[in-house]
Amino acid sequence: MADLFDKFEGLTNLRNTLVFEKTDPYKIVMEDVISPTEAIIDGKHTILAGTNNYMGLTFDQRCIDAAQNALTMSGTGTTGSRVLNGTYAAHRELEAAIADLYCMEHAMVFSTGFLANLGMISALAGKNDIIMIDADSHASIYDGCGLSDATITRFRHNDAADLDKRLGRLNAGRRVLVIVEGLYSMLGDKAPLADIVAACKKHDAYLMVDEAHSLGPYGANGQGVAAADGVLDQVDFIVGTFSKSVGTVGGFCASNHPDFEILRLASRPYMFSASLPPSVVASATAAIKIIKEDRTPQQNLWRNAKQLHAGLTEMGFQLGADCSPVIAVLIDDRDVAVRSWEQLLDEGIYVNLALPPATPQNTNLLRCSLSAAHTPDQIDQILAAFDKVKNSNSVNQS
C-alpha cells in the first residue's frame, strides 16, 4: 500500500549519507543549561557558541524577576487568542515598548517570529499583489508567501541593482511588497538596506525588513540594521522575534501605516492562535527595555565577535562574511564539516552544523553565533578548539 511517508525517501537517504560517529545534531540534548553560554551535553561541560543568544539575556535577573512576578500575578497562560480572551494589559505594554523602540505608531505581537512572518505576509499581500523576496530568505518568509494569494517572485541575494531591475519589469499599478532580512542568519551577511530602500522608493514598493538576528546587535538603540543604516523611518514594516536577543519566545511587527490596526482582524495566524503567556510577555518587555537603554551587552557582543572573527581569519579559515555576531566557517568537504562539528563538540564547543539544502550556495557551514555573555576566555577556548580541529583534519586530508 502507498504510504504517506513515501515522499520522505529522498530526505531519509540524504540523512543517511551523513556519517556521524558518536552523536549528531538531532540527538543532542542539553541535560542542564547553566548559563547563557554553558550547558551540560552528554555529561560534559560545553560552551554554547550557536544559540542566537546575542544579548545573553536568558538568565538576566531583571528579566527573570519580571517573568516570575507575572507568573505569580497573572498565571501560566492566557488560554486564548488575542481577539477572544487573550489580550492582557501586559500585551499592550509590550506592543507599546516595541513601537517606542522603533519610533513607530503601531506594533503587533505574535506567538513566534515564524507566525509574525506568516501573519503579516499572508494578510498584507492579496490576490492581485506581488511579493518580491530576497532569494536567501528564511523559511518563514517563504511560507508566509505560500500562505498568501499573491504572485511571488525573487531577486538575487543582497543585490539592490537586481531588485531595481526586477521591480522595473513589473506592470505599473500592481502593488508590490519587497521583503528582506537585516542580517542573514546562515552566513552572517548584512543587507545593503540603504540601496534596497532606494530601489523600493524608486518603484513605489512597500518594504518589510525582518530583523530577527539584528535586533540587539545593530543600531544605536539595538533596533537593527535599518536603524544602523539610518533608514528605519523609510521601512514600512519591521518584523522580528523574541527568540534570539530578547531571550524568550514570540514575534512582532512594527509599522507607521495608519490602517495597521485592521490587521488584528485580518491576520489569521494572529487571530487563531493563543497569545503569549504573561511570563513571556513580561520578560520580553524587560529585555526590550534593556536592549534599548543598556549599551553594555551590545558592546560586549561586538568585542566577542571581533575576537572570534579575527582569530579564525588568522588561522586561515574561510568565513561567510565580514565580522558580525554570526560567524560561519565554510568547509569545502561535507564529510570534513560533519567530522569537524563532532570534534568541536568533543572539545566542549557547541556550534551549528548547517548543510545544503538549508544553506546558501550549497555551502557546508560550522555556524557560530556569539553572545554578549561570552567571556574573552571562552572565545579563546572556542578558537583553540577550532585550531585543533583544523590541524587534525588537514592531517586527515593529506
Strands 251-255 and 237-241: antiparallel
Question: 31: exposed, middle or buried (C-beta count within 10 Å: 0-12, 13-18, 19+)?
Answer: exposed
Report how far residue 85's alpha carbon sits from residue 275's, in angstroms, rounded to the nearest whole number: 9
What's the closest the beta carbon of residue 219 comes to ligand PLP, in angstroms? 16
Q: Which of 181, 229, 236, 347 binds ligand PLP (CB under 6 A)?
A: 181
Contact call for residue 113 and ligand PLP (CB under 6 A):
yes
What's the closest the beta carbon of residue 26 comes to other proteins, in angstroms? 22
Q: Which of 71, 152, 271, 336 binds other proteins (CB under 8 A)?
A: 152
Q: Is the peptide bond between 357 and the residue preceding it cis, with omega within 30 degrees of 0?
A: yes
Report how far residue 229's alpha carbon sits from residue 225's, in angstroms, rounded to the nearest whole number: 6
Could you tell me which stretch among 31-39, 78-86, 206-214, 356-364 binds other proteins (CB under 8 A)? 356-364
What's the closest the beta carbon of residue 306 comes to ligand PLP, in angstroms? 23
Q: Which of 213, 214, 243, 283 is catalytic?
A: 213
What's the closest the beta carbon of residue 232 comes to other proteins, in angstroms? 29
Please work out the total of residues on this chain that contact other proteins, with binding judged by CB under 8 A.
17
What's the closest the beta carbon of residue 111 comes to ligand PLP, in angstroms? 9
Show the cell assigned to 247: 531571550
Helices vs. strands in the chain: H and E counts, helices first: 13, 15
Please work out the total of residues on this chain that contact ligand PLP, with binding judged by CB under 6 A.
14
What's the closest the beta carbon of residue 148 comes to ligand PLP, in angstroms? 16
Could you tell me which stretch among 162-170, 199-207, 257-265, 276-284 binds other proteins (CB under 8 A)? 162-170
Q: How far is CA 214 from CA 40, 139, 185, 321, in A?
A: 28, 17, 9, 15
- For residue 156, the partner it binds in other proteins, ligand PLP, none, with Cβ less than 5 to 8 A by kind, is other proteins
Show the cell assigned to 133: 523576496
Q: Which of 80, 126, 356, 376 binds other proteins (CB under 8 A)?
A: 356
Contact call for residue 154 and other proteins (CB under 8 A):
yes
Contact call for residue 210 and ligand PLP (CB under 6 A):
yes
Cell numbers 519566545 correspond to 249
By the 8 A CB rule, do 315 and 394 touch? Answer: no
Show the cell assigned to 143: 511560507
Contact call for residue 216 and ligand PLP (CB under 6 A):
no
Q: How far is CA 151 from CA 130, 170, 208, 212, 237, in A?
A: 5, 11, 16, 25, 19
- For residue 166, the partner it binds in other proteins, ligand PLP, none, with Cβ less than 5 to 8 A by kind, is other proteins
DSSP at 138: -
Active site residue 257: no
Contact call for residue 169 and other proteins (CB under 8 A):
yes
Could you tell me which stretch among 189-197, 206-214, 270-278, 302-310 binds ligand PLP (CB under 6 A)? 206-214
- For residue 291, the partner it binds in other proteins, ligand PLP, none, with Cβ less than 5 to 8 A by kind, is none
Report how far residue 356's alpha carbon sits from residue 368's, in angstroms, rounded to the nearest whole number: 17
Please report, as a single letter, which amino acid is at residue 119: G
Active site residue 244: yes
Active site residue 213: yes
Contact call for residue 362 and other proteins (CB under 8 A):
yes
By the 8 A CB rule, do 304 and 379 touch? Answer: yes
Q: How far is CA 381 from CA 24, 211, 330, 337, in A?
A: 22, 30, 20, 19
Cell numbers 487563531 correspond to 272
Q: Which of 111, 122, 137, 185 is catalytic?
A: 185
Q: Which of 91, 106, 244, 309 is catalytic?
A: 244
Q: Which of 74, 153, 221, 381 binds other proteins (CB under 8 A)?
A: 153
Element (H, E) at 41: strand 38-41
Element (H, E) at 38: strand 38-41
Contact call for residue 112 and ligand PLP (CB under 6 A):
yes
Residues tagged active-site: 185, 213, 244
Residues near other proteins (CB under 8 A): 130, 135, 145, 151-154, 156, 165-166, 169-170, 356-357, 360-362
Residues near ligand PLP (CB under 6 A): 112-114, 117, 138, 140, 181, 185, 210, 212-213, 241, 243, 251
